[in-house]
Structure 1
Amino acid sequence: MAPETFEQRMERACKDRDIPGAVLVGGDRGRNFRYEKAFGYRSLKDLSNPDPMPLDATMWLASCTKLIGTITALQCVEVGLLDLDKDISAILPELGQLQILKGFEQGPDGKDKPVLVENTKAITLRHLLTHSSGLGYDFFNPVLMRYRATQGITPSLKLINPVKEAFTYPLLFAPGEGWEYSVGIDWANWAVERVSNMSIEQYMEKFIWAPLGIKSMTFHPKTKSACMEKLTDMSVRSGGQNPIFGIPADPEGKVEYTDDRVWNLESSTISAGAGCYGSVIDYQKILQSICANDGQLLNPRMVNEMFKPQLSEASRKAWMAMLAIPEINQLYGVLPQGIQTDWGLGGCLIMEDLPGATKKGTMAWGGYPNLQWFCDRSAGMLGIFGCQISMPGDLKAIELYREWRKELYKKSGTERL
């Protein structure tokens, strides 16, 4: 019997409901090799007649938005509207007012009272883009959850409040002295709005999406009928959620339809860190431009800067300590324990060759419902694996993404480079 091909493996995974469906798009920077294929189903709502997954399916891109948001900020740096290393509070005075949360003490009523101290260090755009500003996510960080409880607020990805209000809370550490996955790119893009006098959607449409011929992307999918018609339903893995880390409690559970879309489709404001919708096939155009360093989005010098390690020693140690926690590592896509990584301007930098996979200097990241992308400039390879499973860090999806990435290198002839 012939060995199972990767495509057969994907079809089996969808049939067995290991994953609902996926769109995979990748290739090389010279456009000599391209892989694009949809597997499985757009929706599991009706298991007797599930909708096939179209190649141009609309997906919630979640934190894949962060790469786009980073590029908008770097474009403003190129034309002198922003500076990577100046105090950003000149443009975002709200950040200059933030204090550092040092802990809690018990008040006279027996309730938590936050202990806040003055921040004496400037927050820079570089800090915001590399998650080293001291900001966090209140719905991911237990310390910020505890702080929010003192305000009578329960953090949520639904973002019922205006996004800026929802993303305003104390720093967890002084800028440059730690690492915490954060709302920094949202704040960076509010700076873009102020210096460009454009909304982020208008800016991205003019300077990112239009130059690359991208038609599917938006922060307001309900305003675009074509996006809504192709919107992929969300699935959830049975067995519940790990109560601390939010990953699936039972990695072997089957996926099933859920009407919980996780993100708030009704949000009137824009999150440049997590709120974009679009097709994976369009997202690949952004990766292609950056990997080819073709000058369409950024000049070659700025692209080179994106792929340089950006973290201070203190921030890098904090980031590596995060990855040493297995459940958090799983949330971030499962990097081999102990491998040296850093953070670039746009994503995680893998600072060692991964045998049989990517090369040193590869930038990679993903999005909450189990999207994963990579850009390997050394081998000239790039790709994005698009899925919509509502709990992050799904081991079934991560395993398939890794298999596909190896398949890309094998089929392109770059696996021996």
Structure 2
Amino acid sequence: MIESLLIANRGEIARRIIRTANRLGVRTIAVHSETDADLPFVAEADEAVCVGPANPALSYRNAEAILAAAKSTGAQAIHPGYGFLSENADFARTVEASGLVWVGPGADAISAMGDKINARNLMAAAGVPVAPGSQEPAESAEAALAAAAEIGFPVMVKAAAGGGGMGMAVAGDGDELRKEYEKVRSFAERMFGDGSVLIERFFPRVRHVEVQILGLADGRVVALSERECSVQRRNQKLVEEAPSPAVSPELRERLLAAAVTAGEAVNYRNAGTVECLLDPATGQFFFLEMNTRLQVEHPITELIHGIDLVEQQLLIASGDEPTLQQRQTGHAIELRVNAEDPKRFFPGPGTITTWVEPSGDGVRVDSGYTAGNTVSQNYDSLMAKLIVFGADRDDAIAKARAAVSGFEIAGPKNNLPFFAELLENPEFRSGDYDTGIVSRMR
């Protein structure tokens, strides 16, 4: 087992990794920005190093500073969490070239899946279903129009190098496509340094379902189970549940088999997620993308399988056998508690004056903050993940309702009122919902 671990991240995911590492007797090193010096994850690590100012480009995305911190503290391995440098193939290569263990997939797999067009083409060649779309970047608005004419409107306009729901727009006709193409291309160049644009079929009613995979040290790829991620705002997830209420045993078997094929196609190692779009009318699913890292929503898979995915990551990175328990029971729901307006979902950072977490049977809170901390505008608005586990879906919803009412936050804006509304919503409670549910509630 790895003996010392640097966590190249912050907030709740840094605390989450530290918790497992402590249980396994692994020494932990936190890196933090000047702004984050007082956050809980810094105090909970065995050692902490400031790597720069609040600007993420100068701290959490500063590969040179993070590697220097690893060297000065004698870290044996680096866990990138999610976001920041977690899907940066060059950073992964540099970590390994420096003699450190990278707790994640190989750099080649990260690189192969980092470009949506390349990923689509690889998956299609491997036999994984993909939605109708362009096989090459649309180099101009005219090229985008030609692709759309072949695919059929409406289409999704995507930044090929994007992620996390960013750099996406829908176009219903040619005029709209011209406008959205330029917007997405400009955004992609600014945010990702790559203006490549993918044109893909847009499904007006679709569900977002993903599969957790683990690429083992011996080369095998296993698929655990699926998660439902259709409650979204601006193509970004707010609520996830497992198992998906839309997936039958027969569909689950096909989804898991496709996810294993996807992982094998890129010699995948460690934890990853194969994301798919599911057409509820036909039961067809299409490859969307592969996230080459631990997902924000990993706790719901942990709860229904009775495993610790961070532990599995560390075991695989150490070359050891994972301790998998292939059992699926009960139902889990995760709510992303963000510092944002619950109506329009605009960010609302600020200093936390009250922070009281709910507790009880089947309730788990993975938080990055506590009372007295400040939620900075420099980072993602996620403050905590409220996770519940019940005997079945109705039980999990009941526990989620109670936990939401028992979570007290004052200072920054928060979206707990939205969750209270969602958990009473007949469409959500029925389980028959899609990615448009939030817009219909608003």
TM-score, normalised by the number of residues in structure 2: 0.28
TM-score, normalised by the number of residues in structure 1: 0.29
Which of the two has greater strand per residue? 2
**Larger relative contact order (CA 8 Å, sep ≥ 6):** 1
